[in-house]
Amino acid sequence: MTALKTGISGENRRVFYMDFIRALAMLLIVTYHFNIEAMSRVQDFSCRPVLFLNYHQVNGGTLGVSLFFILSGAALMLSARKEQTMARYLKKRFLAIFPSYWLVWLAGTLATLLLMRSHYEGIPLWTLLLTAIGMDGYLYELVPNFYLTGEWFIGCILLLYLLFPWLKKAVDKAPAFTAAAALAVWALLLAFRPFALQTDHVFLMRVPEFMLGMYLIRYMPEINWKAGACGLAAALALMFLPDFWGEAEVVRSALMGAGWYLFLGWAGTLVSSFRISGVFAWLSRYSYEWFLLHHMFYTFLFTLLVGKTFGQGSFILLFLMSLLVFAVGGIVLKAVTAAVVKIFRKRPA
């Protein structure tokens, strides 16, 4: 038996260390946003953050997002080992993202109309098109719109998904040249910053992380202890370096994400031998549903609790109750989404 624990589930080959990283990345993001929403909306907030908020200028949200970009490239590269047409590829990506996204947005919109109707005042109706194509969160800082769920990450990853087929062809035909070209474009964009969006939100700035996942599946599908140790050393070194990065913070974020990915990938091969591995596999299965639900839920929760004060114990209890909501909500959302998709598939053409 190899160090890489795999299983077959339907058409998808599951790699446990990827499930392990996905679950941890999702928990980092969920925890970070809980702390941020509480600090911005709770009066006289004096509680210690759950886990941590910022440690040497590093926060769990940024780290979790970087891990997700690397994972996305790795997962697509893994699934691409089986030949598929462009139409099939786009269909799979569409069904994996949009049905759940639209359902959560619809539920959130109904709740907003009931609880915070003024939230939609002055927003142009045409921007519903941005919501329909999953780009509302991505473009929210440029265009006021009906964004409620998914954040900027959804639009960013959608653009990377569209780019993937061409990136894969380039990686397959000229891996060294493609890597060098991607890094050169990255450096030029960082130097001139020809975009209005926040630097780390621009999808082209996340291409190196996305491609790293692709290259790891191609050249290092099994992450050994040497790679894990090097990754941990690099991540810790980057974490403790002085804060001189400025606009180049996106570079440190990517390098640190790469280091932690290697370390957690190796750690995941160890965890796979224990019963607790089932918990991480379960969390990974519902990670997208948790991602869609969590930020919107926090917004509503802390809006309703605005002006309240919390002790440390009640603050932690509120966080644990939130996790329970996501656990139940994720199961329900996945089931409802599957039922809706099944209905539409059965409809006559």
Count of domains for the chain: 1
- Please give the Cα distance from 238 to 248 (Å, whole number): 13
In this prediction, residue 249 carries a pLDDT of: 83
In this prediction, residue 348 carries a pLDDT of: 58
347 falls in which pLDDT band (50, 70, 90)? low
Question: Beta-carbon neighbour count of residue 326 at 10 Å?
Answer: 21
- Given a cut of 80, whether residue 205 has pLDDT beyond it is yes
Q: How far apart are the first and last CA of the chain?
A: 47
**Look-up of token digits 């099944």:** 342
| C-alpha R_g of the chain | 20
Closest CA to 134 of 120, 147, 124, 143: 147
Q: What is the mean pLDDT of the chain?
A: 88
In this prediction, residue 6 carries a pLDDT of: 37
Asked which of 8-17, 82-91, 179-188, 282-291 is least confident by mean pLDDT, the reply is: 8-17
Is residue 136 within a helix (H) or strand (E), and if so which, with residue range?
A: none
- Given a cut of 80, whether residue 73 has pLDDT beyond it is yes
Is residue 13 within a helix (H) or strand (E), and if so which, with residue range?
A: strand 12-15
- Given a cut of 60, whether residue 13 has pLDDT beyond it is no
Q: Which domain holds residue 153?
A: 6-339
| Average pLDDT estimate for 34-47 | 79
The verdict on residue 246 lying in a domain is: yes
- Given a cut of 70, whether residue 44 has pLDDT beyond it is no
In this prediction, residue 343 carries a pLDDT of: 85
User: Helix H segments across 195-346?
Assistant: 207-219, 225-240, 249-271, 277-285, 287-304, 312-346
The verdict on residue 349 lying in a domain is: no
The verdict on residue 34 lying in a domain is: yes
In angstroms, what CA-CA distances link 74 with 18, 185, 232, 239, 261? Answer: 9, 21, 19, 24, 11
The verdict on residue 346 lying in a domain is: no
CB 164 within 8 A of CB 203: no
- Given a cut of 60, whether residue 11 has pLDDT beyond it is no
Q: What is the pLDDT of residues 134-145, one digit of tens each?
A: 999 999 999 999
Higher-pLDDT residue of 262 and 347 is 262
How does DSSP classify residue 119?
G
Q: Which residues pair with 55 in a beta bridge?
A: 58
- Please give the Cα distance from 99 to 337 (Å, whole number): 6
Q: What is the pLDDT of residues 212-260, one digit of tens each?
A: 999 999 999 899 999 999 999 999 998 887 766 667 788 889 999 999 9
List, in order, residues 6 or more apart from 300 with CB less than 8 Å away. 108, 111, 115
Helix axes 249-271, 16-41, angle to 10 degrees: 130
- Please give the Cα distance from 171 to 74 (Å, whole number): 13
For residues 264-274, one letter each, b for 16 or more C-beta atoms within 10 angstroms of the residue's C-beta and e for the rest, the string is bbbbbbebbee
The verdict on residue 316 lying in a domain is: yes
Amino acid at 93: R
Assign residue 287 a region: left if phi > 0, alpha if psi is -120 to 50, beta otherwise?
alpha
- Please give the Cα distance from 161 to 142 (Å, whole number): 22
Give me the percent of the chain exceeding a pLDDT of 70: 92
In this prediction, residue 51 carries a pLDDT of: 82
In this prediction, residue 15 carries a pLDDT of: 87
- Please give the Cα distance from 73 to 207 (Å, whole number): 9
The verdict on residue 348 lying in a domain is: no
The verdict on residue 345 lying in a domain is: no
Virtual torsion, Cα 51, 104, 287, 66, nearest 10 deg: -70
Virtual torsion, Cα 81, 87, 88, 91, nearest 10 deg: 130
149 falls in which pLDDT band (50, 70, 90)? very high
In this prediction, residue 12 carries a pLDDT of: 36
Tokens representing residue 23 in the block = 């679950």
Q: What is the pLDDT of residues 320-341, one digit of tens each?
A: 999 999 999 999 999 999 999 9
Amino acid at 246: G
The verdict on residue 134 lying in a domain is: yes
